[in-house]
Amino acid sequence: MALPSGPAAGCAPVQTPWPRRLTRQVTVGGVPLGGGAPVSVQAMTKTDTRDVAATAAQAQALAEAGAEIVRIAVPDEEAAAAFGRVRRLVAVPLVADIHFDYRLAIEAARQGADKLRLNPGNIGDDERLGQVVAAARERGIPLRAGVNAGSLEPDLRQAHGGPTPAALAESAVRTVARLERLGADDIVVSIKAADVPTTVAATRALVERSDRPLHLGITEAGFGEEAVIASTAGLAILLAEGIGDTLRVSLTDDPCREVEVGLRVLRALELRRGPRLISCPACGRCRVALRPIAEQVLAGMATLRTPLRVAVMGCEVNGPGEAREADVGLAAGKGKAVLFARGRKLRTVPIEEAAEALLAEARRMDEGEATEPHPRPLS
C-alpha cells in the first residue's frame, strides 16, 4: 500500500511525547540530518548499478514511495561511471556505497554523489582514506562511517570476544576519531547488527560518546513479517529515546516496502505527520465484516495529504468514542454505520456505503474545507 510522501505529507517536525537528542547537522543533497531536523527515510537500490536505466527507475520509484535519500552500491569502476549517469537522471539525493577500493569513493564523489557511505576499516590506510576525505571536503559532501557486526575490525573482535555492543561502539568512536584526524567534519555514524538487542545496546553506548548524527537500522533483518517486526522493534526503541536522525529498513524484499515500513514507524511514533487509520480488531460483539471496510478505507487514504486520523470501528463499546475522537470515523453496526466528523455525529448510512461515505468526508477535509486537525493533547 503506497503512502503519501514528501513535504505535502507533512515532513516538518511535530510535537512528540519524547525529546529528540540534539546532534550536529549535516546536509545530504539538501536534506538535513541531525540538529533537530525531521528523521528522514532512506532506501537502497537492488538493481545492478551498471544497468543505468533500471537503477534510475528504481531510484525514482523509491523517491515516489517517500524515500528522501537513496543509496546505490558502487562495487567497481563501471558502476562508478554508471552512478554519474544515474545522478543526472534523478533528483533525489544519492549516496554512493563503497567498500574496499578508495578510488571508487573518489570517483563517486566526482560523479556527483551527495554522500559517501564507507566502512573505513576496509578502505585502506590513512593515506588512502585521507584522499577520500579530501575528495568529500572539496565537494562539500558528508561521509557515513558504517559499522556492521559482520565486518568488525579483527582486533576489536578478538579483544571483545566477538561483535559485542561494546566492541561495535568502540569501532564507531575509533572510526569517527580517525576521520576527524584526517580532516573530515561532516560525518554521519551508524552501528548495525542483525539482532535488536545488540544494535540497541551498541547505539546507546555510542551516543554517550558522540554527538554526530546517527543513521539507524537493523541490518540483514530478513524478509516477511518477522523482519518487519524486528526492524520496527529496534527502530522504535531508539526513536522513542530520542535517538536517530535518519533510518533505513533493510528487508529481503522490494525496496519500496522498506520505505513504507520506515514511514509507518515514524507515523506510529508521531515523528512524521500523515493520515493514519485506526481500526477495531473485532470480536464477538462485531456484527459486520469489518476488515473489507477497513481495507477499502486504507486504500482510499493513499491520496490524502493532511494528517487526518480516520477510524473504522465495529461495536458499541469503543466504537462511538473512538469515531468521535478521530478527525473522521464510523461506528459500524448490523446493516448500518454512524458517521462522525470532528467529534460530531453526521448521519447514519447503509453498511455497504459506509467506506465511501467515510472517505468522501475525509477527502472534503483534506481539500481544505476543514483545515485544522481534531485537537488531541499528547499524553
Q: Domains in the chain: how many in total?
A: 2
Residue 183 has pLDDT above 80, yes or no: yes
Q: State which of 223, 248, 268 marks the end of a domain.
A: 268
- 291 and 201 within one domain: no
The answer to whether residue 376 is domain-embedded is: no
pLDDT digits (tens, 9 = 90+) for 142-166: 999 988 888 888 999 999 999 999 9
- 299 and 173 within one domain: no
Residue 370 has pLDDT above 50, yes or no: no
Q: State which of 243, 268, 293 marks the end of a domain.
A: 268
- 297 and 192 within one domain: no
Which has more confidence, 143 or 371?
143
Grid cell locating 47: 538493481
CA distance 295 to 299: 6
- 286 and 178 within one domain: no
pLDDT value, residue 51: 98
pLDDT digits (tens, 9 = 90+) for 195-236: 999 999 999 999 999 999 999 999 876 678 888 999 999 999
The answer to whether residue 374 is domain-embedded is: no
In this prediction, residue 327 has a pLDDT band, given cuts at 50, 70 and 90, of: very high
pLDDT digits (tens, 9 = 90+) for 7-50: 333 344 455 667 889 999 999 999 999 999 999 999 999 999 99
- Indicate the DSSP class of residue 25: -
- 100 and 15 within one domain: yes
pLDDT value, residue 213: 97
Q: State which of 268, 296, 326 marks the end of a domain.
A: 268
- 166 and 47 within one domain: yes
- 316 and 229 within one domain: no
Least confident residue range of 9-13, 138-142, 278-282 = 9-13
pLDDT value, residue 15: 59
How many other C-beta atoms are found inside a 10 Å radius of the C-beta of residue 32? 16
- The whole domain housing 83 covers 7-268
The answer to whether residue 308 is domain-embedded is: yes
CA distance 230 to 267: 17
Check which CATH number belongs to the domain holding 343 and give it.
Answer: 3.30.413.10
Which has more confidence, 182 or 272?
182
What are the Cα distances from residue 26, in Å, to 32, 186, 215? 6, 6, 12
pLDDT value, residue 369: 52
Q: For all residues of the chain together, what is the average pLDDT?
A: 89
Q: What is the mean pLDDT of residues 325-342?
A: 91
pTM of the model: 0.85
Q: Give per-residue burial for 309-320: e unless 16+ CB within 10 Å, then b.
A: bbbbbbbeeebb
pLDDT value, residue 1: 41
The answer to whether residue 287 is domain-embedded is: yes
The answer to whether residue 229 is domain-embedded is: yes
pLDDT value, residue 285: 75
- 331 and 261 within one domain: no
In this prediction, residue 3 has a pLDDT band, given cuts at 50, 70 and 90, of: very low
The residues, any chain, with a CB within 8 Å of residue 289's CB and separated by 6 or more, are none
pLDDT value, residue 317: 74
- 258 and 296 within one domain: no
- 213 and 134 within one domain: yes
Check which CATH number belongs to the domain holding 182 and give it.
Answer: 3.20.20.20
The answer to whether residue 375 is domain-embedded is: no
pLDDT digits (tens, 9 = 90+) for 110-133: 999 999 999 877 888 999 999 999
Which has more confidence, 3 or 37?
37
- 189 and 151 within one domain: yes
The answer to whether residue 184 is domain-embedded is: yes
In percent, how much of the chain has pLDDT > 90?
A: 70
CA distance 304 to 239: 25
pLDDT digits (tens, 9 = 90+) for 67-91: 999 999 999 999 999 999 999 999 9
- 293 and 258 within one domain: no
